[in-house]
């Protein structure tokens, strides 16, 4: 995930996530390097008071920022901060609360609002706590579901991106007992097509090779351990192959990752959350990034959670947050290049 400076510095929104988790810490640490300000115009959505608290806690007094006074008035070569709430919110590192969850949602909704208004080129979200955010005002199990709805996307795809692999999910935050209900020909094909399109447009891979995992142990063992592979997954793969797509599988997940076979493919489609993410986080935990493909804007996120157990202890590693920022920059540039190439070919 490398970046090259250009004349236009992308305006990247960054939410602080749950203020009692490690979000504020990894945001500050990632943006503390002033060299990053030569590449992007960072805009942090949350609270200057929260940043000041964690800056002092971590002994990073040299971390400076400017509070945004007027909508869209972002200053270059500095960290811009948009205050998303006026009331004082208690900062209690390591302790989840409805109060901190409500504040996190205010920041999330503000970054979405300003992205829709064209003030940002993309955004990065720090972790929220699903247990405290879920409710009548936020009936979603995570960022991905919410962003899919709020950006009016027909469908989206959670893609975990690392240096060695990219893993997309057919189902995301679904109880394991219900996963099979979502494994339909229509859904599997849609997710494959979303992954292929993203690999082409967002990652500039001309003819991506995609591996599809089976749902059952041993990929069903030819129907002995479930028939979803025979009835659903394989027919979709064969149909897409007949149309010239480089789609392969279904593969048994354990052997596929254990043998290193994943290295032969540009993208991998997993049937459910843990099937793909256990292997992904083992292989790419320090540099992994969560990317939401299929949205009209670019959104990335670190691949870790709120990590309450180490919040406020200055132990949080900002590597994934930094990589999430870099990936957002790269995808913004790749999408711009793709649009430019399409316009040129039509002109």
Which residues of the chain have a pLDDT value below 70?
A: 1-7, 340, 342-347
Q: Are both 149 and 159 inside the same structural domain?
A: no
Q: Are both 118 and 44 inside the same structural domain?
A: yes
* Contacting residues for 282 by C-beta, under 8 A, at least 6 apart: none
**Run of H or E including 237:** helix 234-242
Distance CA 270, CA 339 (A): 29
pLDDT attached to residue 345: 66
For 51-97, give the DSSP string: HHHHHHHTT-TT--EEE--STT-PPTTSEEEEE---S-----TT---
pLDDT attached to residue 281: 93
Would you say 229 and 220 are in contact if contact means Cβ atoms under 8 Å apart? yes
* Contacting residues for 109 by C-beta, under 8 A, at least 6 apart: none
Q: Are both 149 and 3 inside the same structural domain?
A: yes
Q: Are both 12 and 100 inside the same structural domain?
A: yes
Q: Tell me, what CATH number does 17's domain have?
A: 3.40.718.10
pLDDT attached to residue 1: 41
Where among 291, 312, 337 does a domain terminate? 291
pLDDT attached to residue 60: 92
Domain count of the chain? Answer: 2
pLDDT attached to residue 337: 87
**Model confidence over 141-151: pLDDT tens digits?**
889 999 999 99
Q: Are both 247 and 322 inside the same structural domain?
A: no
The SS3 call for residue 199 is: helix
pLDDT attached to residue 108: 98
Q: Are both 200 and 278 inside the same structural domain?
A: yes
Q: Are both 213 and 322 inside the same structural domain?
A: no
Q: Are both 48 and 141 inside the same structural domain?
A: yes
Residue 282 neighbours by CB distance under 10 Å: 9
Q: Are both 163 and 302 inside the same structural domain?
A: no
Q: Name the phi and psi angles at 325, rounded to 5.
A: -65, -45
Q: Look up the domain containing 113 and give its range.
A: 1-153+295-347
pLDDT attached to residue 157: 97
pLDDT attached to residue 292: 97
Where among 273, 291, 309 does a domain terminate? 291
Q: Is the dihedral of CA 116, 192, 175, 184 positive or negative?
A: positive
Distance CA 26, CA 40 (A): 17
The SS3 call for residue 11 is: strand
Spatial strand order of the sheet with 210-213 comes to 65-67, 79-83, 41-46, 11-15, 122-125, 299-302, 289-293, 157-161, 166-169, 267-270, 210-213, 247-251
Q: Are both 16 and 123 inside the same structural domain?
A: yes
Q: Are both 202 and 262 inside the same structural domain?
A: yes
Q: Are both 88 and 204 inside the same structural domain?
A: no
Q: Name the phi and psi angles at 94, rounded to 5.
A: 90, -5
């Amino acid at each position: 995930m490398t970046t090259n400076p250009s004349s236009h510095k992308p305006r990247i929104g960054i939410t602080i996530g749950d203020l009692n988790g490690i979000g504020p810490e990894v945001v500050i640490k990632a943006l503390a390097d002033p060299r990053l300000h030569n590449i992007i115009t960072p805009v942090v959505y949350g609270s200057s008071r929260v940043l000041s608290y964690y800056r002092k806690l971590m002994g990073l007094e040299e971390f400076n920022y400017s509070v945004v006074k007027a909508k869209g008035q972002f200053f270059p070569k500095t960290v811009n901060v948009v205050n998303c709430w006026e009331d004082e919110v208690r900062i209690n590192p390591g302790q989840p609360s409805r109060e901190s969850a409500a504040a996190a949602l205010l920041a999330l909704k503000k970054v979405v609002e300003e992205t829709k208004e064209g003030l940002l080129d993309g955004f990065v979200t720090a972790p929220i706590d699903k247990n405290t955010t879920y409710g009548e005002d936020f009936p979603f199990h995570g960022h991905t579901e919410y962003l899919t709805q709020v950006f009016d996307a027909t469908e989206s795809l959670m893609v975990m991106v690392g240096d060695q692999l990219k893993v997309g999910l057919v189902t995301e935050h679904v109880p394991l007992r219900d996963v099979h209900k979502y494994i339909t020909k229509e859904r599997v094909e849609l997710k494959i097509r979303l992954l292929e399109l993203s690999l082409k447009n967002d990652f500039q891979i001309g003819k991506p090779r995609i591996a599809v995992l089976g749902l059952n142990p041993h990929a069903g063992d030819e129907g002995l351990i479930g028939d979803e592979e025979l009835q659903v997954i394989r027919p979709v793969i064969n149909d897409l192959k007949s149309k010239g797509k480089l789609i392969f599988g279904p593969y048994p997940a354990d052997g596929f990752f254990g043998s290193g076979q994943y290295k032969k493919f540009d993208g991998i489609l997993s049937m459910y959350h843990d099937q793909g993410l256990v292997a992904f986080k083992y292989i790419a935990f320090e540099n992994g990034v969560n990317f939401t493909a299929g949205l009209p804007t670019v959104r990335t996120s670190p691949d870790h959670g709120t990590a309450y157990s180490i919040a406020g202890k200055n132990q949080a590693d900002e590597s994934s947050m930094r990589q999430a920022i870099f990936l957002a920059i790269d995808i913004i540039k790749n999408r711009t290049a793709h649009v430019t190439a399409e316009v040129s070919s039509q002109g």
